[in-house]
Structure 1
Amino acid sequence: MIYLLYFLITLITFLLMEVATWLTHKYVMHGFLWVLHEDHHQPKYQNVFEKNDAFFVIGAIPSITLFYFGVHPEFNYKFFIGLGVLFYGIAYFLVHDVIIHQRFKWFSRTKNKYLVGLRKAHKVHHKHLGKEDGECFGMLNVPAKYFNI
């Protein structure tokens, strides 16, 4: 029974991370930390890394902290919240950097309707080179209209 609870904590955390990502992307990345996100909206990558990649580190801090407090002084639910955050971070890397932006050419020819829809929504997001007038701030959950091929 406890394993089911731990699984649910991890799953719910993963799902809530999409909400946190949308809010962070709209109000933080396109807000007061635009200075870190701006290079991501430029037409071509100038370097292997962008200032925007700092958000991976920023996003890892809560997960690492939750892992620590989830095993110290004794094993507890915080570990599984950290695990949900970590799993979302891995999904974010695979979807955003690998599938959408193709920084690695692992899935460059996919015809999967869901993945193609994610790419379309993200292209709409990137058509705005400034921080204003943005749309499609989510990563895994984007409006249904982008899945109509």
Structure 2
Amino acid sequence: MKIALWILIFFGTFSFMEFMAWFTHKYIMHGFLWFLHKDHHHKDHDSWFERNDAFFIFYAIVSMSFFYVGSTGIWYGYPLGFGILAYGIAYFLVHDIFIHQRFKIFRNANNWYAKGVRRAHKMHHKHLGKSDGECFGMLFVPFKYFKK
């Protein structure tokens, strides 16, 4: 029974992280922490790293904190930590590698999902300022972006 609950917590956490990514992106990154996220929309530096990467570090610390909780005997800390970690890996693969090509792999991915996610993110970056943005999610985007 515990393994089923572990798996449920893991997948629930992974799914909840998509909501957290959307919420954080819309209300925090495009809100009071725009000064950290702005360089993701306007490349104003020569570094491979962006100030925007601070958000990754924040969620990595949250994930590691849950691993610590798990190590103290509170078993559900592990599936929470792994759920956040798995979402972070998925986000990194889709957003940083596939969409923004921070590493030059996955360039030829051209299936319906890849096209839809690319379209949605392109529409998000069409808005260069902190206001009037659209499509703040990452892995689950509105169906309109999957239409031809």
Distance 2:43 2:55 in 1: 19
Distance 1:61 1:75 in 2: 18
Show the counterpart of 1:145.
144
Task: Show structure 1 runs of 5+ residues with no match.
Answer: none
Show the counterpart of 2:14.
14
Alpha-carbon deviation of 1:46? 3.3
Query: Are residues 45 and 109 of structure 1, via their aligned partners in 2, closer, same or farther at CA, if it must alter by over 3 Å?
Result: farther
Q: CA RMSD in A?
A: 1.3
Alpha-carbon deviation of 1:111? 1.1
Amino acid at match of 1:47: S
Show the counterpart of 2:108.
109
Amino acid at match of 1:137: F
Amino acid at match of 2:128: L
Show the counterpart of 2:58.
58
Residues 1-149 of structure 1: pairs in structure 2 closer than 5 A: 1-42=1-42, 46-72=46-72, 74-149=73-148
Residue deviations 1:34-89, cap 9 Å, x none? Answer: 000000002687321111111110111110101101111x1511111111000000
Alpha-carbon deviation of 1:112? 1.0
Amino acid at match of 1:125: H
Distance 1:75 1:9 in 2: 13
Number of aligned positions between the proteins: 148
Amino acid at match of 1:68: Y
Distance 2:135 2:85 in 1: 23
Spell out structure 1 runs of 4+ moving beyond 3 A. Answer: 43-46
Query: Are residues 7 and 114 of structure 1, via their aligned partners in 2, closer, same or farther at CA, if it must alter by over 3 Å?
Result: same
TM-score when normalising by structure 2: 0.95
Amino acid at match of 2:36: L
Distance 1:33 1:87 in 2: 25
Distance 1:44 1:108 in 2: 25
Task: Show structure 2 runs of 5+ residues with no match.
Answer: none
TM-score when normalising by structure 1: 0.95
Identity percentage of aligned residues: 57
Alpha-carbon deviation of 1:28? 0.4
